[in-house]
Structure 1
Amino acid sequence: MEKTRSIGGSTVNKSSTESYDVVVCGGGLAGVSAAVAAARLGASVCIIQDRPVFGGNSSSEVRVTTHGAAQFHAYARETGIISELLIEERAANHEPIRENGWTNSVWDMTIYDMMVSTPNLKFHLNTSVTEVEMDGPKSIRAVKTRVANAETELTIRGRVFIDCTGDGVVADMAGCEWRLGTESRGEFGELHAPLEASSDTMGSSIQLKAKDMGRPVPFRAPEWAVKHEDPAYFYNQGRHFYDLMAGFWWIEIGVPWHTIYGNEDIRHELTRHALGIWDWIKNGDPELKQRSANLALDWIGQVPGKRESRRIMGRYFMTEHDLLNLTVFPDEVAYGGWFIDLHTAGGLLAPTAEPASAEGYAETTEYAVKSYCGPYGIPLRIMLAKDAGNLMMAGRNVSVSHAALGTVRVMATTALMGQAAGTAAALALQKGIEVADVPDVCIKEVQQRLLRDGCFLPNVRNEDPADLARGAKAAASSAELVYGAGPESRDRTGGFRKAEKGFMEAAEPLMQRRGQWIAVGTAQIRSLSVCLSNGTDQPQTVEAELLPVRHIWDYRADAGTPLAKTKLTVPPGPGRWIEWPVNLTAADGLEPGTYVRLDLLANPGVEWHMAGTVLPGHVSAYEMGGGRMRRYRDGGTLSFRVEPPQPAYGAANVLSGVTRPYDYTNVWRSNPAEPLPQWAGLEWAEPQRIGRVELTFPGHLFREYHAYEPFYRDPQCPKDYAIEAFADGEWRELLRVQGNYQRRRTHDLPGGVTASRLRIVIHATNGDPSAAIAEIRCYES
């Protein structure tokens, strides 16, 4: 029954009831992705958010920038809905990205535009869940909510509920089992777990932003701010001042306050500390006083960014063993790749900051070795509440241990989980099954749908039976060859590698084993060469191995029996190309369509130089310890040459079923020496009726979101292109697109077309001389 009142002759509803297929509670990146995914698949969706903007910790209220797997792994950036948003934000935003504190309303409006523009999707902002109505002990019927500042109560009914509140509010009210705190090492045998269990959680942070005024600016802290006087508190405890313009993640507090019930106390204490820290910067430390002389405190957050609270028990409980051992799950629906980042309980009140920071982010310590992980798969079952058949979770409240939460909690990863949850919910409703039954009934359909919608799964590739392209052969106007690249090379893509002062000139002695991935395009490699410098006055010997590897994240230092081994002699002097006549063929195990890794073993007297460009799909790593490797620098290309040049970017890559460099380059690239336009296309034995073409372009994958400047459009991404079909004996242009910068585009062909050949003609890119396409899909309707 609706409650009403009369005002000035009109009737106003104070309470009402709405009904939807899917109800998403929480409007962070997980919730946004869940809601959009379900709505795009035809479900009626309502998302409830208790703040005035979407984005959660990433919003302009909190300003924590979006992190993910690409921080540690080349080509690991998350795709799907989160990719659409981040690409759009960079293309539109005038401000640079800094570590924290710089998120502005362009990001808020980017998300808001998607929410407003998505059919089947309704939202309620400034709306909090106050109660859960159950339909029996195992099913949720509705959530009751209150709209702040509107004196309005809403009852939102649904068939499937997705708890993306972070704190697991809905699951808690529904009576679901949850954990809060830290498991003991004895419970699961996790290396990151303490000996004794506790209620300790990671803390919450607020952010700062400073502005350069171009003249000296004073600062006086209020009397109630914390007064810092001991330099050791910062410099001996891992609290670094790298960028004074941006916020500091380590302005963090948790225990002794409760991460949920003490949130307001935490906010106030964080404010006291933040002002005190800025006072130390401006008036305390002599060096920082000079660096910050012209800086003014422009903004200070008042919404704590929370890292951890309730973790809802699901149908699978994921531990750090799954992450470190790269467990392959049959219900894989997302992936992660952040390190196991467990902040010290207490934050600013603890003896040291987060362990990796306390070590100065060293990359070869015992802690670094045991914490580096991924990319790893994430199963749907950690998002299915075990105590409620129609409740899912996505975000930091999923069914994982405290140790595993250290990596799955970052926002780009939670966004992937959100898209997976929304997709599973919509498909379950279409099939008339409980969402809890999806892993047993239709998980392959969920996986294929996620791939079709732009996501990446490490252990799944395109097998969509409706994709007509899978029955075609690919062809192209030309294809680039891989010759290698050297220090003298220059970035041809207008920004593919982030410009860093001194990056190319920095010394790179071989302190550990270092490896360069090389794509094999033909069953022959006659010779390999590397550019080395010998800074000693004596010839140096370097051991070299050529190893078969599974993919670009195969970090095993000992990847099996080498295809070949040798010792290279490096005479004294700079920049010498040293040739290895390796003479490998298929008989030696060389396999086209795979990678080999060229490893040079340690010799500190020798330098192996980076190339001056990045060859797409050609990454590098080094041995960090414990028989494991990790990304070398930004993961870009080390100098090498290969003879004969390898045809690794052929047209067949658009049908590989994978849309990024992974087990192979998985991208078609035209010959950069030939002018645009260039094309890649499909040919069928019999004419096909095509009503929709779905394209995935390269770009926006190599580095994390932070690496891209304002108004960025990835050079590799086609800018102007056309879709043409060969029908009735001639090529006919079906549509033309101009000004593109998104990596995934879907095109419905009005009236459809019946054709035996179809091609995508690239007329212009956003800077790369090569046209490029990662995947072409075709559907009847």
Structure 2
Amino acid sequence: MIHQDASSEVRETKLETISCDFVVIGGGLAGTCAAISAARQGIQVTLVQDRPVLGGNASSEVRLWSLGATSHMGNNNRFSREGGLVDEILVENTFRNKEGNVLIFDTILLEKVKNEPNIRLLLNTAAHTVEKSDPNTISRVHAFCSQNSTRYTLEAPLFCDASGDGIAAFQAGAAFRMGAEDGSEFDEGFAPDDSYGELLGHTIYFYSKDLGKPVSYTAPEFALKDITQLPRFRNIDVHDHGCKFWWLEYGGRRDTVHETEEIKWELWKVVYGVWDYIKNSGKFPEAETMTLEWVGTIPGKRESRRFEGDYMISQKDVIDQIEHHDAISAGGWSLDLHPADAVYSEQPGCNQWHSKGVYGLPYRCHYSRNVSNLFLAGRIISSSHVAFGSTRVILTCGHGGVAVGAAAAQCIHENKKPADLLEPSSLKTLQNTLNITGQSIPGIPIEDSSDLVLTAQLSASSTLALTEIPANDQWLPLEYPVAQLLPFQADTKVKVTATIRAKKNATIKVALRTAEKPYNYTPDLTLEEFEHAVTAGTQTITTEFTQTLGEAKYAFLCYYGDPDIEIQTSAVLATGLVSVQKKFNKAVSNDGEQIPPEGIGIDRFEFWVPNRRPAGQNLALRLDPALPAYSLEHLKNGYTKPWIASNAWAADLSDEKPRIDLAWESPQTISKITLYFDTDYDHAMETSQWGHPENLMPHCVRSYRILDEHGTVLHSCEANHQTINRIALDSPVTTSKLTLEIDHPSATVPAALFKISCH
């Protein structure tokens, strides 16, 4: 037993000092990814999270689905899902949790962190005080865990603030901003005025459940009594819950750091008032058997402080997709601002303006310009208020967090400070390190001279040539224009045959369109178009295009008709192929065409978006000549997802035993092999509530074998579901040949591979 006599002295709680290489404050997706990324690069990390779970706004405490550049597949950002560690987490969550259970997502993040021996995780631990060794350097952070009554002193040469409000960065004296800049500072036409407001607010969600029997409800006294105070109350749908109520937002006119508790109470007032209206207004008879299953106890925060780095990303960086030499991650969500009066505003709940494609985020936005050993991750990175409308979303924050973790490890290995990595050779090392892990920084390929594959002679049992996308018995009505996206060479002239059936005599237009920027998927250029007269019944139409694209990039084969005309589709799903429609997606303010007001610096363009599986089949087409979309040389070009080209090798579906051979003139010693597969980078893997039609991405190779020159199996896999397979051989092998036997994922999906590397 423990017995202590009364004491006149103030007792001290337990104190533990932790010394490590890198302290990450904040365990949202940005901080979690920063910690894992750094730990995997071999440094000791302490991850400090003031909540009982990881994930921040994506956790079971808030329950926001994770999104980024894919934007619910409602924009023109094809193949844009974030790569590397973020992709690994999303793919794993979809594999285990395609229904979108937030509790399962919690466990996946916790497992990822606990599996890293270089991470010390402190949950329920709030960082509260910073010490500095000089005006520009943090030396210690003090934290307290309420669950074990322990104080922690955290010492490290490098720190990262990913806390959302920037508790450590603020105390350390890092330059910051809060609110909206005047439009003239960064030439931002979308900068809001005072009537719109300068801050985005917080949101609390609720979940409902149908019990199949009558359930009564009495609202608490603090619940909103007059539902008409919410101008959007007519939008309430009894079947909605969770993120569908994103517009239950408040706080943009208040201090979103220090008044969060007051904001929370106002949101509880709104949430319980909405549920009272659903249950007791008499307008929703189907709610009689429904109960309130869960209400958030902490709000999901959107905006507070933003800290200044050596560069501040602004509207033009996003809309003009400005290329930065120090790009380390990618964004692609719209410029998404909300009126400060939020749920009480007469204005729309959000105001989203999209760019024509993804953009790169500079490394200079991810460290403090005046605190020399402080990294920034998550929504507090260096951005204007307008650009923050895009950079703030969870997966963009996570992608940047991965880069911060890799940068921190490199700083430790090279004995440098964050800003020192801007030196060209250090920056190239950082970008390469990230891309090798799958980051896929836009426009920057892997450059790895130590990769033995670069000196190997490659051959394959077959290579898929796009002569035909074979038809099935499905048809797509041309209610909306439809297009097949295909990778073209610079000088391609193609004759295309499609099969259509019409209910009556009509006209169908066929066009060849492409994007002005070769890496975009917004068809802002029409190269050629033809009209075909069709008669009632089934028939083929052949269009011979004479124009070329002038450079390698994707092109749209577009078909315009009406609902009385249908086009035949295909069950084949091949890497880098996707069909799209000129169609709306209300979830991301897509009405089919973006038509901004004059003078705000936003582009006008059409949206061509895919349908989600099990819809979204490719068009059945015959192509003459065949498109050489899947060259073996793609395996050496350094890209690990589609970008301008498919960047993949694929086997012909008729090849019963697909195989790639790598041969060297002299024996090579190999200890590590890495394979980069396709888990459909066009599919948005929302982590909660949304749900997905399958847990295994149909494009992904499930089984393969690696053999040496003697036919000895060095490694085999029979149940793969992940994008990147990193294979460490039990012992190094010296051989002049490797063979990769790779099985088709299914009868309608050819085996494909973006890259193989050997070391």
Indicate whether the TM-score tops 0.5. yes
Tell me whether 1:352 sits opposite 2:356 in the alignment.
no
The correspondence for 1:380, drawn from 363, 368, 373, is 363
Q: Report deviation, 1:125.
A: 0.9
Distance 2:323 2:62 in 1: 35
Contact 1:46–1:122 (Cα < 8 Å) also in 2: yes
The correspondence for 2:460, drawn from 465, 472, 476, is 476
Alignment of 1:38-187 (within 5 A): 38-71=38-71, 72=75, 73-93=77-97, 96-97=99-100, 102-104=101-103, 106-187=104-185
Q: Report deviation, 1:138.
A: 0.7
Contact 1:550–1:595 (Cα < 8 Å) also in 2: no
Change (3 A) 1:695 1:204: same
Change (3 A) 1:295 1:573: farther
Change (3 A) 1:199 1:736: same
Distance 1:478 1:21 in 2: 49
Aligned residue for 1:733? 713
Aligned residue for 2:260? 263
Aligned residue for 1:202? 200
Tell me whether 1:645 sits opposite 2:622 in the alignment.
no
Change (3 A) 1:765 1:546: closer
Distance 2:631 2:89 in 1: 30
Q: Report deviation, 1:79.
A: 1.7
Aligned residue for 1:315? 310
Contact 1:180–1:309 (Cα < 8 Å) also in 2: yes
Deviations 1:224-275 (A, max 9, x none): 2112444983266x66666347651111111343211111111111111111
Q: Report deviation, 1:401.
A: 0.6
Q: For residue 306 of structure 1, give the secondary structure of its aligned residue in structure 2.
A: coil
Contact 1:74–1:634 (Cα < 8 Å) also in 2: no
The correspondence for 1:630, drawn from 593, 604, 607, is 607
Contact 1:210–1:298 (Cα < 8 Å) also in 2: yes
Q: Which amino acid aligns with 1:147?
A: C
Q: Report deviation, 1:212.
A: 2.5
The correspondence for 1:338, drawn from 315, 333, 356, is 333
Gaps of 5+ in 1: 357-367, 491-503
Tell me whether 1:582 sits opposite 2:551 in the alignment.
no
Change (3 A) 1:165 1:647: same
Distance 1:216 1:767 in 2: 49
Q: Which shows bigger deviation, 457-466 or 395-404?
A: 457-466
Aligned residue for 1:283? 280
Q: For residue 269 of structure 1, give the secondary structure of its aligned residue in structure 2.
A: helix
Q: For residue 186 of structure 1, give the secondary structure of its aligned residue in structure 2.
A: coil
Q: Report deviation, 1:192.
A: 1.6
Distance 1:199 1:154 in 2: 39
Contact 1:608–1:639 (Cα < 8 Å) also in 2: no
Q: Report deviation, 1:648.
A: 1.9
Deviations 1:135-163 (A, max 9, x none): 11111111011111333211101111111
Contact 2:468–2:622 (Cα < 8 Å) also in 1: yes
Distance 2:568 2:387 in 1: 34
Q: Which amino acid aligns with 1:570?
A: A
Distance 2:126 2:230 in 1: 43
Q: For residue 160 of structure 2, give the secondary structure of its aligned residue in structure 1.
A: strand
Alignment of 1:243-258 (within 5 A): 243-244=240-241, 248-258=245-255
Distance 1:477 1:181 in 2: 59
Aligned residue for 1:715? 698
Q: Which amino acid aligns with 1:753?
A: V
Distance 1:58 1:414 in 2: 12
Distance 1:191 1:681 in 2: 55
Aligned residue for 1:493? none
Q: Which shows bigger deviation, 410-419 or 752-761?
A: 752-761
Distance 1:698 1:390 in 2: 37
Q: Which amino acid aligns with 2:33?
A: S
The correspondence for 2:407, drawn from 410, 424, 429, is 424
Q: Which shows bigger deviation, 311-320 or 223-232?
A: 223-232
Aligned residue for 1:672? 653
Tell me whether 1:618 sits opposite 2:615 in the alignment.
no
Gaps of 5+ in 2: 6-10, 583-591, 595-602
Distance 1:240 1:506 in 2: 30
Deviations 1:429-457 (A, max 9, x none): 11122111112241111111111111111
Alignment of 1:432-447 (within 5 A): 432-441=415-424, 442-447=426-431
Q: Report deviation, 1:653.
A: 2.5
Alignment of 1:764-775 (within 5 A): 765=745, 769-775=749-755
Q: For residue 719 of structure 1, give the secondary structure of its aligned residue in structure 2.
A: coil
Contact 2:368–2:375 (Cα < 8 Å) also in 1: yes
Contact 1:334–1:457 (Cα < 8 Å) also in 2: yes
Count of matched residue pairs? 722
Contact 2:483–2:557 (Cα < 8 Å) also in 1: yes
Distance 1:181 1:427 in 2: 33
Aligned residue for 2:534? 571
Contact 2:206–2:295 (Cα < 8 Å) also in 1: yes
Deviations 1:462-505 (A, max 9, x none): 11122221222322222333244477456xxxxxxxxxxxxx65
Tell me whether 1:663 sits opposite 2:644 in the alignment.
yes
Change (3 A) 1:440 1:354: farther
Distance 2:48 2:242 in 1: 34
Distance 1:183 1:522 in 2: 43
Q: Which amino acid aligns with 2:99?
A: P
Distance 2:332 2:109 in 1: 24
Deviations 1:698-720 (A, max 9, x none): 11422111365387122222222
Q: For residue 328 of structure 1, give the secondary structure of its aligned residue in structure 2.
A: coil
Aligned residue for 1:362? none
The correspondence for 1:296, drawn from 291, 309, 315, is 291
Contact 2:86–2:395 (Cα < 8 Å) also in 1: yes
Q: Which amino acid aligns with 1:120?
A: N
Contact 2:24–2:160 (Cα < 8 Å) also in 1: yes
Contact 2:514–2:522 (Cα < 8 Å) also in 1: no
Aligned residue for 1:501? none
Distance 2:93 2:288 in 1: 32
Q: What TM-score, normalized by structure 1, do the two folds share? A: 0.86
Change (3 A) 1:124 1:61: same
Aligned residue for 1:211? 209
Contact 1:508–1:609 (Cα < 8 Å) also in 2: no
Q: Which amino acid aligns with 2:556?
A: R
Q: Which amino acid aligns with 2:102?
A: T
Distance 1:339 1:575 in 2: 41
More RCO (CA 8 Å, sep 6+): 2
Q: Report deviation, 1:739.
A: 1.9
Q: Which shows bigger deviation, 245-254 or 690-699?
A: 245-254
Distance 1:38 1:305 in 2: 27
Tell me whether 1:516 sits opposite 2:484 in the alignment.
yes
Distance 2:58 2:568 in 1: 34
Tell me whether 1:777 sits opposite 2:746 in the alignment.
no
Contact 1:667–1:774 (Cα < 8 Å) also in 2: yes
Q: Which amino acid aligns with 2:607?
A: R
